[in-house]
Structure 1
Amino acid sequence: MQNNDQQSPGETSPQGQQGEPSAIHTELGNAQARVAELEGINAELLETVLREKAELENQRRRLHRDLEQARRFANEKLLNELLPVYDGLESGLAVEGGDLASMREGINLTLKALLKVAENHGMSQIDPLGQPLDPERHHAVSMVDAPGSAPGTVVSVLQKGYVLNDRLLRPALVAVAKD
């Protein structure tokens, strides 16, 4: 027997997927609608990503600007506290004449004000007179005979040392009692 049914190229065979042309068009329409929907979602996501990227860039710029401002004006508080010390030194230098005792008193008051400002900002003096030598905080520049002092004890401070928030800024230069 011969099969006289002829198929056109776009139609499906009875053994394959059966479907009417209207069902194929419906599926195609649904697929096209889904593609359009996904393209819309993709466009929204792209716009969101671009907005977020721009926002991150703006935040980075603001942070950079704020850090630069903080760096430039970090010492403002310290310098404002130093202004009275400068004023005291200038007024002391402006005095013509005067006795040595009052000048010493003025310099001593200015030094105390300066040390107070330094302490307010975490700096402290190292004055190790009479203490055992601490090689991490003291730098021995000489050893001297010192009757009545234990060997290795600081007997003279040539230059005081300074510490900033437990970090050594400058060791104290000291003379130590000989063994």
Structure 2
Amino acid sequence: MHDQENPEVISQPESDAASADQANQASAAGAAPGLEEQLSATEAKLAEMHDAFMRAKADAENMRRRAQEDVSKAHKFAIESFAEAMVPVRDSLEMALKVEAPTVESIKEGVEMTLKQLTAAFEKNRLVEIMPAPGDKLDPNKHQAVAVVPADQEANTVVAVLQKGYMIADRLLRPAIVTAAQPK
């Protein structure tokens, strides 16, 4: 009798396992559409994000390329404004050379007019003259002393200017060459 109970006992758990498998399959079948929907939604979102990333990457690359082109053009045409201001100066000099019978007065007048054009070109392009006055304190950032001479003024001051200096905006282009007073 013991053997007869065993098949029932064994068959009962088998039927429980079978029903559990059926329940799992049913719940998996019911959950599968939900998981598949989530998977497809996630894949769609991934595709959208990938597309947005690729567009952002392309935009960044285009901006980098445009910036490089702008820098290249800036280097290439940096002196364009100055060149435009210098063309009339050259024209004036060429016209002065074409005069067949120049007089001292006409040459002087032409040179003065050309100097005015050159000065205007310098001002337009922020090219500033450095011309220290005698007695000004020697500034090593703007002046270059080539000699120290005895003078009746304070030491390390400008005695004479041998050559003007120039600055472009706040940058030294050429220092003024000066003589300085020696200490007493």
Flag whether TM exceeds 0.5 (same fold): yes
Indicate the residue corresponding to 1:80 in structure 2.
84
* SS of residue matched to 1:139: strand
Aligned residues: 174
Q: Does 1:163 align with 2:167?
A: yes
2:113 partner letter: L
| Cα separation, 1, equivalents of 2:90 and 2:146 | 33
**Structure (1 or 2) with the larger CA radius of gyration:** 2
Q: Gaps spanning 5+ residues in structure 2: where?
A: none
Write out per-residue CA displacement over residues 73-128 of structure 1, whole angstroms, 9 at most, x where no aligned residue: 23222211111111111111222342234323322321232122112222211111
* SS of residue matched to 2:159: strand
Indicate the residue corresponding to 2:121 in structure 1.
117
* SS of residue matched to 1:87: helix
1:110 partner letter: T
Higher helix share: 2
Identical-residue share of aligned pairs (%): 36
| Cα separation, 2, equivalents of 1:35 and 1:172 | 77
Write out per-residue CA displacement over residues 13-50 of structure 1, whole angstroms, 9 at most, x where no aligned residue: 5xxx9936322211122212211221122122212211
Indicate how the Cα distance of structure 1 residues 24 and 144 shifts in structure 2: closer, same or farther if over 3 A, else same: closer
| Cα separation, 2, equivalents of 1:11 and 1:164 | 93
* SS of residue matched to 2:14: coil
Q: Gaps spanning 5+ residues in structure 1: where?
A: none
User: Normalising by structure 1, what TM-score?
Assistant: 0.81
Q: CA RMSD for the aligned pairs?
A: 2.6
User: Normalising by structure 2, what TM-score?
Assistant: 0.79
Contact 2:166 2:174 in 1 (8 A): yes
